[in-house]
Copies of this chain bind each other. A is one copy, B any other.
């Protein structure tokens, strides 16, 4: 008899929810997608076609779904504003939780998820930092861990989306927490992964512009932003986020150590094809983050499932997600106020530069 499969539900069937649902349905052998929910009729319609025929029960109400008999876990891919609430409710129903990033748009909300998880230590609760599951990032991290580049000192990372001229991001900015919380959260999480989860931020500075979408200003957001995050142990992360790339998704990371440098995706590419044509040599690049990180998402589903079934260790701690939101929010504040923000060695805000 084959081993038991993890019965999981998917909350939210938007862009990323659809993908999570399909990953658990088709590409996670040890999981069984048994339920999915969305308040959106269009999304439910999609699910009737793509999920229901395979035995997935559909709900318009999240609370109802998580009462389904036999359910063991939930993947939360709904709007960011309900991430925390749905996560906590799931834990109260004794369900493992894989929650899309960020846990929330404020430190307090994010922390509430961590607090709830502490009360349910037998549950697996993970924030979906997909890049942690990407084979290239993992390879770079392993190489760093092996000492290949000496002591990591400078971290540079960017999340650059292709321009979406539809105006989607303007509406989205109202609730996203801003470009540093929404986009750079990945880079911040990577910085904490490469520099050490307990790194204490010392200062943040940021500048931004609205090069293509001035309407973003009404939501205190920008379409391009750069930031510096300084840590107390003598390490620095510098970040760039943009929503106006012409060529496609351009996410790159460098970790610079005292004896070497590791680059991840410094030459973005759609696949292994080069085109020689009038004008030179061209390669295409992925149009969006899913083109870059599809495999990482699938690995995420599989590893989360294995941890739930085998009571295994998750690859990283939930608490880090709060630290990432803290830094992201500070950067966003620095971006909007124009001020540099300082922290003392135990994480409290300081009015002055501390040397």
A residues engaging B (CB < 8 A)?
A: 1-3, 25-27, 29, 53-55, 135-136, 139-140, 143, 148-151, 153-154, 156, 203, 205-212, 224, 226-228, 230, 234-236, 238, 240, 242, 244-248, 250, 256, 258-285, 337-340, 342, 353-355
Chain B residues near A244 (CB-CB < 8 A): 153, 256, 258
Q: What is the count of identical protomers in the complex? A: 4
* Shortest Cβ gap from A4 to chain B (Å): 12
Partner of A27, one of B27, B245, B353: B27
Please state if B273 and A264 are interface contacts (CB–CB under 8 Å): yes
Please state if A205 and B205 are interface contacts (CB–CB under 8 Å): yes
Q: A226-B238, A247-B279 are in contact. List 11 more A-B contacts (CB 8 A).
A: A2-B55, A136-B271, A149-B277, A153-B224, A154-B240, A156-B240, A246-B260, A247-B261, A250-B261, A282-B282, A338-B340
**Docked CA distance A228–B236 (Å):** 13
Please state if A338 and B273 are interface contacts (CB–CB under 8 Å): no
Partner of A224, one of B25, B154, B267: B154
Chain B minimum-CB-distance residue to A238: B226
Chain B minimum-CB-distance residue to A237: B226
**Docked CA distance A262–B136 (Å):** 25
Please state if B267 and A281 are interface contacts (CB–CB under 8 Å): yes
Chain B residues near A238 (CB-CB < 8 A): 226, 238, 240
Chain B residues near A283 (CB-CB < 8 A): 280-281
Chain B residues near A273 (CB-CB < 8 A): 136, 139-140, 143, 262-264
Please state if A234 and B262 are interface contacts (CB–CB under 8 Å): no
**Docked CA distance A273–B280 (Å):** 11
Chain B residues near A250 (CB-CB < 8 A): 261, 276
* Shortest Cβ gap from A286 to chain B (Å): 10
Chain B residues near A245 (CB-CB < 8 A): 261, 276
Chain B residues near A29 (CB-CB < 8 A): 25-27
* Shortest Cβ gap from A347 to chain B (Å): 17
